[in-house]
Amino acid sequence: MGGQPMFIMSEDSQRTQGRDAQSSNIMAGKAVAESVRTTLGPRGMDKMLVDSSGEVVITNDGATILNEMDIEHPAAQMIVEVADSQEEEVGDGTTTAAVIAGNLLGEAEDLIEQDVHATTIVEGYHEASEIALEAISEQVSEEVVDDEVLKQVAESSMTGKGTGGLTAESLAETVVEAIRHVELEDGVARDNVTVHTQIGASSNATELVPGIVIDEEPAHDGMPGEVEDASLAVLDVELGVRTGEIDAEYSIDSIDQLNTAIDAEESEVRGYAETVAESGADVVFTTEDVDDRVASYLASEGVLVFEGIGDSDAKDIVSATGATRVGALDDLEETDFGQADRISAENYGDDDLAFVEGGAAAETVTVFVRGGTEHVVDELERAIGDALDVVATALASGEVVPGAGATEIAIADKIREEAAGIEGRKQLAVNAFADALDIVPRTLAANTGRDPIDALVDLRSAHDSTGRAGLITSGEEVTIDDPFDYGVIDPADVKREAIESATEAATMIARIDDVIAAE
- Catalytic residue numbers, as ranges: 61, 94-95, 386
Q: Tell which residue, 232, 240, 242, has the closest CA to residue 332.
A: 232
Residue 291 DSSP code: -
Stretch 441-470 residues interacting with ligand ADP (CB under 6 A): 444
Shortest separation between residue 157's beta carbon and Mg ion, angstroms: 5
In the shown chain, the binding pattern of residues 135 to 174 toward ligand ADP, with x for contact by CB under 6 A and - for none, equals ---------------------xx-xx--------------
Inter-residue contact 13 to 92 (CB < 8 Å): no
Candidates 29, 33, 41, 491; binder of ligand ADP (CB under 6 A) is 41
Closest to ligand ADP by CB, 92 or 107: 92
Residue span binding ligand ADP (CB under 6 A) among the ranges 40-48, 124-132, 230-238, 391-399 = 40-48
Alpha-carbon gap, residue 39 to 68, rounded angstroms: 15
* Exposed e or buried b per residue across 418-449, where buried means at least 16 C-beta atoms within 10 angstroms of its C-beta: bbeebeebbbbbbbbbbbbbbbbbbbbbbbbe
Q: Which is nearer to ligand ADP, 359 or 402 (CB)?
A: 402
Gap between the Cα atoms of 364 and 189, Å rounded: 9
Nearer to Mg ion, 92 or 500 (CB): 92
Q: Mapping DSSP to helix (H, G, I), strand (E, B) and coil, where does residue 182 land?
A: coil
When asked if residue 385 is in the footprint of ligand ADP (CB under 6 A), the reply is no
Distances (CA, A) of 99 to 96, 103, 262, 472: 5, 6, 70, 19
Which among 17-25, 87-95, 134-142, 360-368 is the span making contact with ligand ADP, rule CB under 6 A?
87-95
Q: Which of residues 397-436 bind ligand ADP (CB under 6 A)?
A: 403-404
Name which of 95 and 231 has its Cβ closer to ligand ADP: 95
> Rule CB under 6 A: is residue 491 a binding residue for ligand ADP?
no
Give the nearer residue to ligand ADP in terms of CB position, either 234 or 406: 406
Taking the complex as a whole, the smallest distance from the CB of residue 159 to ligand ADP amounts, in Å, to: 4
Query: Residue 403 binds which one of Mg ion, ligand ADP, none, with CB within 5 to 8 A depending on kind?
Result: ligand ADP
CA gap 96, 447 in Å, rounded: 14
Residue 107 binds which one of Mg ion, ligand ADP, none, with CB within 5 to 8 A depending on kind?
A: none
- The residue range among 37-45, 114-122, 146-154, 254-262 that interacts with ligand ADP, by the rule CB under 6 A, is 37-45
* Number of chain residues interacting with ligand ADP (CB under 6 A): 24
Selection from Mg ion, ligand ADP, none that 444 binds (CB < 5 to 8 A by kind) is ligand ADP
CB 337 within 8 A of CB 173: no
The binding site for Mg ion (CB under 5 A) comprises: 92, 157
**Of 56, 24, 16, 52, nearest in space to 374 by CA:** 56
Task: Give the other-Cβ count within 10 Å of 4's Cβ.
Answer: 6
Is there a contact between 425 and 127 (Cβ–Cβ < 8 Å)?
no
Closest distance between ligand ADP and the C-beta of residue 474, in Å? 6
CB of 38 to ligand ADP, least distance (A): 10
Give the whole-angstrom CA distance, residue 92 versus residue 387: 8
Q: Do 104 and 125 touch, CB atoms closer than 8 A?
A: yes
H-type alpha helices, 54-191: 62-68, 74-89, 94-113, 118-139, 147-158, 168-181
Rule CB under 6 A: which residues touch ligand ADP? 39-42, 44, 62, 92-96, 156-157, 159-160, 403-404, 444, 471-474, 488, 490
